[in-house]
Structure 1
């Protein structure tokens, strides 16, 4: 029946908790006895010896910074100020049937900026909402 299984489960959970507390108390006492078991007078001396045996990290300067050549390509590019002259050049390039990506690369501005300039100049068709 299910009630017997529930009682058995509760008993097993209690037994597991009891074992867990026994393990924690034994571990605590064994760890406290380690320095004396290895012949150290204090915990500080034992920890110092453990760190030396484990080969702790060296203290000193960190790794060298990468050169400017390596970081120049992966970093942010310089901000291009969109002046009225650039706007006029973009408009004339659009009228010369150049693609937006080509224009963006040529003038060093982003494609959304090219689209905004085209929209402001009235060179982009607006979407017509679908009739329902």
Structure 2
């Protein structure tokens, strides 16, 4: 069965620093689709974050590139297997230079926290109780 993929294209200021940040979170770089202008960060079998130097990113759009530290255009949300995995990933991100953003959301059946990466892109990490999802 075909599994649709998602590729997040994110402009970054410092490609090497961003690569260190995301590999520090436990993700890998697919060197086949990486070069001096871009890094392909494998988040899962179906999710890839393409980190693009701003000069390279600008070749894909005629629009002004937003400064994610000042404006918000998208919130990236990732699921986590457990509440503890939410904390583990967000705490790692903060230790690697990410910034906390928003409040911890704890509704019992759903738990989430968020961080901004080095360029200000917001990543939400959420866990939902499988029993609640099943209805």
Q: Which has the higher strand share?
A: 2
Q: TM-score, normalised by structure 1?
A: 0.20
Q: Which has the higher helix share?
A: 1
Structure with the larger RCO, 1 or 2 (CA within 8 Å, 6+ apart): 2
**Greater C-alpha Rg:** 1
Q: TM-score, normalised by structure 2?
A: 0.19
